[in-house]
Amino acid sequence: MATDTAWGEQRVPSRPPVLLIDADPSRRAALRSALEKEAYPVDAAAGLREAHKLLAAMSYPIALIDFKLPEGEARQVFLEIRARDPHAALVALVNAGAPEETAEAANQGYYDCLSTPCHPDAAEAAVERAAERYTLIRQLIARSHELASIQHEMDQHIQEGVSEMYRVNERLNRHVRQLTEGREAQQRFIEDLAHELKNPLSVIWGYSSFVLRRPMSEWAADDLTRALDSIHRNAQHLHDLIEELLDSTRLEGHKISLRCETFPALEAVRETAEGLKVQAGEKGLTLTAELPDPSVQVYADRNRLRQVLVNLVGNALKFTPKGGKVVVSAVPEEGAVRFSVSDTGKGIAKKDLDKIFERFYQVQETRHSHKGLGLGLSIVKGLIELHGGRIWAESAPGAGAQFHFTLPATLTIPSSSEEEEEGAASPS
């Protein structure tokens, strides 16, 4: 049988603990006995002071309170229990035949009223209802917390889903833009290709038709030479365009092979400068070659390296205004040679710097004034990377442009010990 000690010190039973506060000793004893027979753990108090001691040790989900405790003690106990547990089921012990007490208790917020004296079954039924109510409220609160947690988790999943959809949408939009830009670039390329091929063909067609109008014997030697020279130059230009197109296609399909050898880097720089000096002079430009020491060696395909330098220097001559300067140079770096082509031209905008090495790309501002296929720099990049090097550009509007690329100084062949270590490290 339970004593007047705090229930919190005992083993937690299956039924909720009950706090019984009643100033009438006989009624308190009878109620306590009836509830304990139904396995309810009961802590009993005669008034406010004893109730304080019990409440200091634990809180009670159910309390039976003598509604007529002296000096308003019933109200104080009511408020203290509710402060500890707002959902506690509080039952007022009222006198039978005093309906005004029942009405007042209901107004004060009591869950139920128990008229005393009462049969033990009535007391047990009142506590049973209170316990059921308290259990349902706690279950409802727990379920509410669970639902709130689920709602929070769902909100997070929804937010993550929305964020992921946004990211996917951004990627799709970016791909669509890239595809659109790619199609537009290809369309421009086809138009430019037709135009570039048509120009030399028109000249060849025109001069050859003009020459064939009369027998060769009737032509003056100088006139015939000029016509044939024009036909030859335009045929060469046509050949170069076709070679550029083929190189781009071969690089795209990984079908270009290199014939690399070790030779002085100054040879490539000097040959490029000498080959384009006349063209620079015709445009009123100064082309300077800063030659490295003859001991600086580069491992590359001679013809492809010259093709790269001619393309870069040719671009510099094309985009540098009269009176400007173009410099081609080479300097040794650790295990490599860095070639550079710089000019004093208009420069390249930052938005174009990252794209100029893309296939078909042409800077919009120069597209109409300087015709081309938009393949040159992409071919240059492909050839350099095929050598194991890299290329980059530095520029700003009005500050000219500098193109740099590196190539290996020598052919690097792993030593036998390195090969053995590599073989030992690889899985069998």
Q: What is the mean pLDDT of residues 43-53?
A: 89
Residue 265 scores a pLDDT above 60: yes
Give yes or no for a contact between 131 and 89, defined as CB atoms under 8 angstroms apart: yes
Res 336: pLDDT: 94
Look at residue 54 in the predicted model and tell me its pLDDT: 92
Rounded to whole angstroms, how far apart are CA atoms 408 and 337? Answer: 6
User: Mean pLDDT, the chain, as a whole number?
Assistant: 83
Q: What is the pLDDT of residue 371?
A: 56
CA 29, CA 94: separation in Å to the nearest integer?
A: 16
The tokens for 413 are 């062949």
One-letter amino acid of 226: R
pLDDT, residue 221, reads 83
Report the pLDDT value the prediction gives residue 264, as an integer from 0 to 100.
95
Whether 3 shows a pLDDT value over 70: the answer reads no
Whole-angstrom distance, CA of residue 276 vs CA of residue 324:
15
Q: What is the mean pLDDT of residues 277-300?
A: 94
pLDDT at residue 73 in the model: 86
The per-residue pLDDT for range 285-296, each reduced to its tens digit, is 999 999 999 999
Q: Characterize 324-339 residue by residue with b for buried, 16 or more Cβ atoms within 10 angstroms of its Cβ, and e for exposed.
A: bbbbbbbebeeebbbb
Q: What is the pLDDT of residues 156-199, one digit of tens each?
A: 989 988 898 888 898 888 888 878 877 776 776 676 667 667 77
Q: Kindly report which listed range (71-85, 296-310, 311-325) carries the lowest average pLDDT score.
A: 71-85
Asked if residues 353 and 404 have their Cβ atoms less than 8 Å apart, the reply is no
Residue 157 makes CB contacts below 8 A (sequence gap 6+) with none
Going from the C-alpha of 355 to that of each of 76, 155, 174, the distances in angstroms are 81, 41, 15
Q: What is the pTM of this model?
A: 0.50
Q: Quickly tell me which residue has 């390249």 as its tokens.
A: 348
For residue 246, which phi and psi values (nearest 5 degrees)?
-65, -40
Q: Which stretches of 308-414 are assigned E, i.e. beta strand?
A: 325-333, 336-343, 390-395, 401-408
Sequential DSSP letters for 106-169: HHHT-SEEEEES--HHHHHHHHHHHHHHHHHHHHHHHHHHHHHHHHHHHHHHHHHHHHHHHHHH
Interatomic CA distance for residues 259 and 304, integer angstroms = 9
Q: What angle do CA 103, 104, 109 make, to 5 degrees?
A: 100
Peptide bond connecting 117 to the previous residue in cis, omega within 30 degrees of 0:
yes
Confidence label for 9 from pLDDT (cuts 50, 70 and 90): very low
The winner for highest mean pLDDT among 76-90, 207-221, 227-241 is 76-90
Do the strands 390-395 and 112-116 form a parallel or antiparallel pair, or are they unpaired? unpaired
Q: Would you state the pLDDT for residue 420? A: 47
Mean pLDDT of 97-106: 85
Q: What is the pLDDT of residues 337-348, one digit of tens each?
A: 999 999 999 888
Domains of the chain: 7-118 (3.40.50.2300), 177-252 (1.10.287.130), 260-408 (3.30.565.10)
pLDDT confidence tier of residue 361, bands split at 50, 70 and 90: confident
Phi and psi torsions of 280, nearest 5° = -65, -45
pLDDT at residue 317 tops 70: yes
Quick one: average pLDDT of 238-249?
76
Q: What is the dihedral of CA 198, 202, 208, 213, to 10 degrees?
A: 140
Q: What is the pLDDT of residue 192?
A: 65
Average pLDDT of span 66-79: 86
Name the more confident of 331 and 14: 331
The CA–CA distances, whole Å, from 94 to 65, 97, 100, 320 equal 9, 9, 9, 107
DSSP label at residue 12 = P
Does residue 419 carry a pLDDT above 60? Answer: no
Residue 370 has pLDDT above 60, yes or no: no
